[in-house]
Amino acid sequence: MDEEKKPEGAAPPETEQPKSEAPAAPVEAAGSSAAKPAKPEKAVSTATPEKADQPKGTEKAAPAEAAAEKPAAAAKPPAEKPTPKKPSDEMEVEPWEGPLVDSLKARFGDEIKQFAVFREQAFLIADTAAVIPILEFLKLEEDFDYLVDITAVDYPKKEKRFEVVWILYSFAKNVRIRVKAVVGDGEKPATACTVHKAADWLEREVFDMFGIEFEGHPNMTRILLPEDWKGYPLRKEYSIIQQDQDWVRENLQIESGQ
């Protein structure tokens, strides 16, 4: 028998694909949006990013070579230790000069050991025996007619431990000066009551606090503390909280005056 003729244009019969082969990817339907092309990968830069572009906390330690290039931070100089203050008797002073100094030098010569100014305060240091004649000269001839105060300073390590100070003021000149003398424990400088009546109570206060007696004083007794009080509170060995326990017990009927 002759073979059957296939009509022209007919599709060939489908050939079965083996089951092991994966099905072909479906073709996108017509009219659908074209597939987006894949984004090209960014080129990785080998350059070191600037420090300002890096987020905080992500900075990496610089290699040793880079660290070596950076100049080392300047070391802080050690703090200077404060200069210890000198004792008051060793403070730097300036020379005291002027007409008053010239008059005192001409009158008393070597009896005055030093003329100086410390913190704008003029003073002289004289022999103890010359103090009363100096006070009299300053009052009668130089118008220093006001005895402001008499006080003392205690330097227990010195051979002569006390420095007695007479403070004078001139209303006419509006000037204040100091006369100083070095006095040993037990020495009695002459009283100034013969020149200034105000010296009476001032000298009693120095005696009460330091135990310095003034020769010729009309009533050399305590003025602030009881007459039978033991000790002199402004001497350096006398503690700031020390009390005369016997006096406190007998007169206040308590064991401590603190």
Report the chain's mean pLDDT, rounded to a whole number: 78
88 vs 153: which has the higher pLDDT: 153
pLDDT category of residue 90 using cuts at 50, 70 and 90: low
Confidence of residue 72 (pLDDT cuts 50, 70, 90): low
pLDDT, tens digit (0-9, with 9 covering 90-100), for 19-40: 544 455 444 444 444 445 555 5
Which domains can be identified in the chain, with CATH numbers? 91-224 (3.30.460.80), 229-258 (no CATH)
Tokens 């489908």 — which residue?
A: 14
| pLDDT tens per residue across span 103-113 | 999 999 999 99
Query: What is the distance between the alpha carbons of residues 169 and 144, in angstroms, rounded to a whole number?
Result: 5
pLDDT confidence of 249, banded at 50, 70, 90? low
**Residue 197 DSSP SS3:** coil
Is pLDDT at 12 greater than 90 in this prediction?
A: no
State the average pLDDT over residues 188-207: 98
Query: What's the pLDDT score for residue 92?
Result: 83
pLDDT digits (tens, 9 = 90+) for 94-149: 999 999 999 999 999 999 999 999 999 999 999 999 999 999 999 999 999 999 99
Question: 9 in helix, strand or coil?
Answer: coil
Predicted confidence at residue 29, as pLDDT, reads: 44
Distance in Å from the first CA to the final CA of the chain: 150
User: Is residue 87 over pLDDT 50?
Assistant: yes
pLDDT at 243 over 90: no
Predicted pLDDT at 32 = 45
Residue 190: closest CA among 164, 168, 172:
164
Rg over CA atoms, the chain: 52
In a 3-state reduction of DSSP, which class is residue 136? helix
pTM of the model: 0.62
